[in-house]
Structure 1
């Protein structure tokens, strides 16, 4: 029921928003008049902000971001930190925010590991899960009382020289109590893990849940990190199953926040650096959207979305954009 509701909500919202966005172009905030900027600032009460690429890069705050978030909080805006990163549990994020001078409480952190654990708890899931994920993901499952297996390295032993030679070893150790496969970011992804995930998912009653489908993260001019979406694509391909994705852009993010903070979509601002997760979440939920250029999206990509005849591309166009979040500070 939950899956059908989310899909119906998203399709209806996407269609409605595309109708409105058929001639839409993103507005560069500093180019607006003072009156228009004032109207924009007064138009939202709640701010949902992505973290990586918006507030910080790895362990370094992006210039001006802490001061901007603190100023928004001083103006009475309710701030939520909404990240597709599943490698940390919420308390870890509170500590990181504090270290980098962002005001944050645990209930204001909305991470995908928390979302998945929260969802499983809400449906009273009582089986084990096979986890492709990290220590932070496992901590959120521990907090929710969800049993799991699969955490950590699972490499192909050198003693096995053929795929057939590992068949009996893996098949004999498949846990009959597993009722779900969860996929988040896992630096220990391996062939044995893919074999196990696909094998568990051969049972149609086994749930398949992913934290997000963010594809990649360029970290320098020469280096690219594969994102969780790359791992999800591998499991999806070998299992022949499509996952329930609970992170951005799924409206479940807003549903989870709405359980303890009343969200008025028309008075909510989503800030992000990625079109197909952050901005699309805003489109799916009816939020205002602000794109910053300090993460994965370039101005060239934004122009392509604006000029595209493809409905799915047009949905990635934000209402507003900035070079960096810190540029908003002197406009407040």
Structure 2
């Protein structure tokens, strides 16, 4: 399977492509912005989609911000967005736990204050956010640690304060098969343009808990189809008329493929055209699944080539 380059489509091909979807789901970091810098043309593309009556949803695996905080970032960078347009994993995790957790139970959270904020907004009882470092030897810690008796779920997101005590507590709570194990996402690392560092992301924390607990989590973020189920329930989207735009193939593109969306990779983030070309030649179906239907140099290519008014 080969991807189609958006820039090489004929005028008729561009019209057919643009008319083939009613809903656009787009990732954020690496597609619309990098860190706090807007990718050129991104704000205008979103404006043009809306002018042409396309529904837009911003779908991010970021669990370090709440709905409100993310919306503030959109507005500060010049994007038109409402709170209902933004779907992030802190919100999704809270929504899932509200529906599936015994209300008499609490959630042990490895994650950011944003996760606690979203859980609190839905009246889901939780604890664990904040510092919890190992201050003694492990044997001494084990002798003195106290596990809470009312834990019904363990939720893992990105946590600046991830530590051995948190790992031990999470794995210990998960010994009980009735305790839910939920992860916001499994991204391996953060993309930081021009950096020599590999920045470990939430997936590394989730893997630590998986390994120690010997259990698999329910993942609410991409590439899980849970997001699609939520959108179909709340916004009645038609997967066959939906486009997913992303920069990371093992989350964004794989998510789109699993949900039956059209997929577009932009080359301003994690994955490159070289990656796509290698996967497209592979006989491995798991690698073939990472190949997008379309690719473009950046989201700005859509403004330059699609029949949208500026």
TM-score scaled by length of structure 1: 0.90
Q: Which runs of 5+ in 1 are unaligned?
A: 1-23
- Which residue of structure 2 lines up, in the alignment, with residue 244 of structure 1? 218
Q: Which runs of 5+ in 2 are unaligned?
A: none
- Which residue of structure 2 lines up, in the alignment, with residue 187 of structure 1? 160
Q: Does 2:143 correspond to 1:168?
A: yes
Counterparts in 2 of 1:297-312, with a 5 A limit?
Answer: 297-312=271-286
Q: May I ask how many residue pairs the two structures share in their alignment?
A: 304
Q: Does 2:250 correspond to 1:272?
A: no
| Residues 219-228 or 198-207, more deviating | 219-228
- Among 184, 191, 198, the residue aligned to 1:224: 198
Aligned-pair CA distance for 1:52: 0.7
Distance 2:50 2:77 in 1: 16
- Which residue of structure 1 lines up, in the alignment, with residue 257 of structure 2? 283
- Among 105, 118, 122, the residue aligned to 1:140: 118
Distance 2:118 2:246 in 1: 24
Q: Does 2:297 correspond to 1:327?
A: no
Q: Report the 3-state secondary structure (helix = DSSP H, G, I; strand = E; otherwise coil) of the residue aligned with 1:122.
A: helix
Counterparts in 2 of 1:1-332, with a 5 A limit?
Answer: 24-123=1-100, 125-126=102-103, 127-157=105-135, 160=136, 162-170=137-145, 173-219=146-192, 220-332=194-306
Query: CA RMSD of the aligned region, Å?
Result: 1.0
Distance 2:191 2:224 in 1: 24
**Runs ≥4 residues deviating over 6 A:** none
Aligned-pair CA distance for 1:105: 0.8
Q: Report the 3-state secondary structure (helix = DSSP H, G, I; strand = E; otherwise coil) of the residue aligned with 2:190.
A: strand
TM-score scaled by length of structure 2: 0.96
Q: Report the 3-state secondary structure (helix = DSSP H, G, I; strand = E; otherwise coil) of the residue aligned with 2:234.
A: coil
Aligned-pair CA distance for 1:124: 5.1
- Which residue of structure 2 lines up, in the alignment, with residue 15 of structure 1? none
